[in-house]
Structure 1
Amino acid sequence: AFQRAVSEDKVNLVIASYISEVVLALMPWAARLKTPMITPGAASNEISAAVHKDYARNKYTFHGYLTSAALAQSICDSTKDMLIDLMKVKTAAIMSEDAAWTRPLDVGYEKCLPEIGVKVVDHIRFSPDTGDFTPIYNKIEAAKPDLIVTGISHVGVQPTVQWQNQKVPLAMTGMNSQATSSTFWSNTNGATQGVIFQSIAVPGAAITDKSLAFSAAFKKRFGSDPSYAGYMAYDQVYYAADAVKRAGTTEADKLVDALEKTDWVGTVGRTQFYGKDDQFTHSIKYGPGFVTGLMAQWQDGKQVAVWPKSLAQGAIVLPAAVKAAAR
């Protein structure tokens, strides 16, 4: 498909995939065909690390989403600000699917959770084919953590529904990519109530003056709210066009040079890329003043932004099972 797009459709740039394994498989083709590629949703550190290790070959790939390391840091930053005082969190269990993007995510969790005073008491990586999460939740409960920190994307419905149905007395936060979709409430029949999840944006959160207009227009056109990758892809179309304009050409190497100088305020914040000397070459910058994402919670059928405070639409509501256990 990548070859056909370049050879037959004569494209000058490709925006491709939210799956890390797919992006990693496409990187050699971007190099061979000298065609810039931007991912709107893949997270694996290996993408930008490969650009850093062999810049001359892989410079055509741009990591247009937060790396797994940045996502882990975002979740630790929010846990420190939101949950440590609210829930007296001192311990956590990590529960992640076995995928390319979660390996560095989990490394990030194991590093940053202790840095904010949260001890990791269990770490489970499960097959994406897992159907019964009962043994996993039983094992986690036996470790007596205060919190479950997740790394799930290719699965989402089953662990969420079973967490709710089994009344697991532990709050759940972290990465749950399917929870970023507006259909997740109906997909889980409301079992996602109380789930806290990292997202790049949610409807109603005015990250920039472009955020609300885009999400409203998207819903009017498609009948649903954009997912995290939808926000990212939308911004990428605009800053790619801006790069072509600044470069004055679509010639690949000059377009790469222009993309490296991107400084674009879109729907999710200010986008700039790390340079060739940074370990995450061509990944977007994370932190205040750039793209941080936010934490949201499913509350009564709606995604409610709860972190950072500047974007919060409401406060965290502890799940019923967690409140019952606290009593």
Structure 2
Amino acid sequence: MTERGSHSGNPNSASVSDGRPNAVNRRAILKTGVGGATAISFAGCLGASGSIVGSNDGDPPITVGALAPDPASDFIGRSMIRGAQVAVQELNEQGGIDGRDVELVVGDTNGSPLEARRQYQRLILEEGADVTVGVFASEALMNIMDDIAEQETIHLTSGAATTAASRLVKEQYEDYKYHFRAGPNNDYDLGRMQVDFVDDMAADMGWNSIAVLAEDYEWTEQPWNVYQSQLADTGIDIAVERRYPPATDDFSTIYDEVEEQGADAAFITTAHTGTAALLDWVTPEPRPFAFGGIHVPMQLPSYYEATNGACRYGITQSSATAQSTRTEKTQQFVQRYQDTFNGSNPVYTGYHSYDAVAMFAEAVRTTGTLDSEELVGALEGMSFTGSSGTVEFYGRDHDYPHDLVYNRDDPDVVYLQWQENEDGEGVQEIIWPESQATAEYAKPPWI
């Protein structure tokens, strides 16, 4: 549930037997990635400018601008746009917002902070966007924060996790108050939820000691600081602590140390290097410890098939899964998404983008206006039931104002484990929190 991890392509063959992946072509998987390159399609829904439009006559449509990386090929960006599309379609089927059609215009950030800014300006100045949603990378979000302030237009982030944005809201509220984070939880709270997961689940999973591993990218800095200050309080033994270099593609030396120190699990925070870390855990022979944490590629619904079962028994977290029932809206959204996009399932950015558009629509209905000043106040006071949980924002006096609230006693996030069903299919089974669990933790049989 973090903000990095663009993958596309198809892996070569492998098999799973008795829970142990064999013959995984590691070189082929790492070279091609794991996301698939299915093109985004708005067939039958696009206007001449590339926008999704309704059919009401009268007032001009309310325009939603969505910013996402490479929506034609990146599963994170694709799900972000598709989630927004589902929300817009539903709004138009319900008569729009206060009788006005809603249209969606898309800006491809191309994974570039500079392109993100160019596309943001295009959506606002040329397409006339009344609100913007999306943005995946923290660097891209920070590069448009000044533009958000200048344009005084509501922006609901649905991908980037950096607390640098909310610190701007805290320090210069009148300038930056137009930024809200509909999801995911910010990078500080990502660290907190990792600690809470260990605190609740370590004993049940047989984890008495862990190796704390994190790729050395900017997005892991805040969670790492939380690990340093809070993990020891759970009572678990920290056998190894390692922020490993960016672009690491060989984990053999790291895993040798994990084994030598007798850690029961490699507790990892990874996106860029996630697939290499996974494959080196199970090949050429499975390592004698569990594996999981924040692992962005494992959030992908097709990851089991893409890695030929290599992710079986791996653990990651996400905002929701196709199996979850976080609220009454979760399965409604999943079903609509599946029906619209040929049976495919959303990743976390899809849920948050859907919620961002729907929440903005509710704020407009409540206030009866598109005036940003009034909408800021409405959003600050809202408790909105979304597809991935209750969306509420930290208040102005909080350290991270306008960020999604994290409630340790009722977390929106879920931790899932890849398991195999009776038909030999990979399933993302929820193992935490207990209130959302669809299965118990399954210990890798080779441990």
**TM-score, length-normalised on structure 2?**
0.68
Identity of aligned residues (%): 30
Instruction: Specify the SS of the correspondent of 2:397.
Output: coil
How far did residue 134 of structure 1 move?
A: 1.6
- CA radius of gyration, larger in: 2
Of 306, 320, 334, the residue aligned with 1:187 is 306
Residues 214, 268 of structure 2: 8 Å contact kept = yes
How far did 1:291 drift? 4.5
Q: Compute the displacement of 1:52 (Å).
A: 1.3
CA–CA separation in structure 1 for the residues paired with 2:253 and 2:172: 43
Higher share in helix: 1
2:247–2:272 CA contact under 8 A, matched in 1: no
Distance 1:127 1:216 in 2: 40
Give 1:199's aligned residue: 318
> What residue is the counterpart of 1:36 in the other structure?
154
Whole-Å separation in 2 of the counterparts to 1:291 and 1:237: 22
For 2:114, the equivalent position in structure 1 comes to none
Alignment match of 2:331 (pick from 200, 212, 224): 212
For residues 106 and 314 of structure 1, do their structure 2 counterparts lie closer, same or farther at Cα, with a shift above 3 Å needed?
same
Residue 387 of structure 2: aligned partner: 267
When the two chains are superposed, the root-mean-square deviation of aligned CA atoms in Å is 1.8
The equivalent residue for 2:131 is 13
**Does the 8 A contact of 2:431 with 2:441 survive in 1?**
yes
Letter in 1 for 2:125: S
Q: 2:105 aligned with 1:105, yes or no?
A: no
2:258 and 2:144 mapped to 1: Cα distance? Answer: 37
Question: Secondary structure of the residue that 1:210 maps to in structure 2?
Answer: helix
Residue 75 of structure 1 pairs with residue 194 of structure 2: yes
CA contact (8 A) 2:326 2:412 kept: no
Give the structure-1-normalised TM-score.
0.92
What does the per-residue CA deviation read over 1:101-157, in whole Å, with 9 as the maximum and x for residues that have no partner? 211011122222111112333222234422222222223333332222211123322
Q: Decide which of 307, 311, 316 is 2:432's aligned counterpart.
A: 307
CA distance in 2, matches of 1:46, 1:151: 19
Tell me, what secondary structure is at the counterpart of 1:29? helix
Counterparts of 2:410 and 2:264, CA distance in 1: 31
CA deviation after TM superposition for structure 1 residue 290, in Å: 5.8
Q: Which segments of 5 or more consecutive residues in structure 1 lack a partner in the other structure?
A: none
Q: Contact 2:192 / 2:223 at 8 angstroms: preserved in 1? A: no
Structure 1: which 4+ aligned runs deviate by more than 6 Å? none
Whether the 8 Å CA contact 2:249–2:273 is kept in 1: the answer is: no
1:45 maps to a residue whose letter is T
Residue in 2 that maps onto 1:168:
287
Contact 1:272 1:290 in 2 (8 A): no
- Whole-angstrom distance in 1 between the partners of 2:379 and 2:388: 18
C-alpha distance in 1, partners of 2:315/2:417? 4
Partner of 2:412: 292
Q: Distance in 1 between matches of 2:139 and 2:287?
A: 32
For residues 289 and 210 of structure 1, do their structure 2 counterparts lie closer, same or farther at Cα, with a shift above 3 Å needed?
A: farther
Asked if the contact 1:160/1:188 (under 8 Å) is kept, the reply is no
SS in 2 for 1:140: helix
